[in-house]
Amino acid sequence: MHRTALMLSLISAFALVSCKGYKDLEASAFQQMLAGDPSAQLVDVRTPEEFAEGHLPGAANIDWQADDFREKAAESLDKGRPVMVYCRSGKRSAAAAARLDGMGFRTYNLLGGYLKWTEEGRETEVSGNEEPEDLDVLYGADLLKPGTAAPDFTLFDLSGKEVRLSGLRGKTVVLDFWATWCPDCRAEIPALKAMYAAADPSKVTFVSVSYDRDIETLRKYVAENGMPWVQLFDPAGKKDSGIGADYHVKWIPSMYVIGPDGKVVLSTVVASKVAAFLDGK
């Protein structure tokens, strides 16, 4: 009986290991895979504060402990490319790897995490002191360039009214692509509110295009945060948005300033650049 119970226990343990879809890699193998597969997506699942203090070169940050982890992963990661995750010591990233595997991603976890990586003297970088301009190099390089005719589109606002971008000709338009589930977007809202309050409404119109999946969530957030400018809902979501594709939006928030003639005069992922442009007009 004792032997049978032991065998059943071993079989169960083996089954648990075998069913684990993601793969654990030692630091050396993790580094070799990163070097050998340029399509690999490297993700640091620690908090933004931990990430800012130092991270693996080229890593993106999607906080495992944040409520929107699943949404951000689904929006920003490609299921056709491997995903390589790490955290401080390996526990959070193992949980994140399991979640990503369940979402259909091919996932690899760094055993021992950032601590093991640095203990072995491997390369890291610090991004906590990046200047805002650097973010455009990292995330906004593909945005439409100044002088480009802004692609026209039609969406509905939160009251169900149809809004056409070309119908705003004659005014400068500040166009913002965002979502309530995006922490970086939420962080820029105070700057947008300040710009809106300072602008002359006879000359400047603010338009936000949201990639939220639920319009009621969007309505509630806008009301609670006092965002009175034009709020449009793109039901396609970020990944499948034709408008986002037309505007080359790969990162949110992404912002444009469109001149009265309908041409792009500024494209950026940094709200302070938009503010500086408006101040200079």
- Report CA-CA distances (Å) from 29 to 70, 86, 266: 27, 13, 43
Catalytic residue among 19, 87, 182, 185: 87
Tell me the three state secondary structure of residue 69: helix
Element (H, E) at 24: strand 23-25
Distances (CA, A) of 38 to 31, 42, 113: 12, 10, 21
Other Cβ atoms less than 10 A from the Cβ of 98: the count is 15
Alpha helix (H) ranges present in 54-182?
69-76, 91-102, 113-119, 132-139
240 touches 219 (CB < 8 A): no
CB 227 within 8 A of CB 193: yes
Asked if 182 is an active-site residue, the reply is no
**Alpha carbon distance 244, 179 (integer Å):** 13
- Show which residues are catalytic: 87
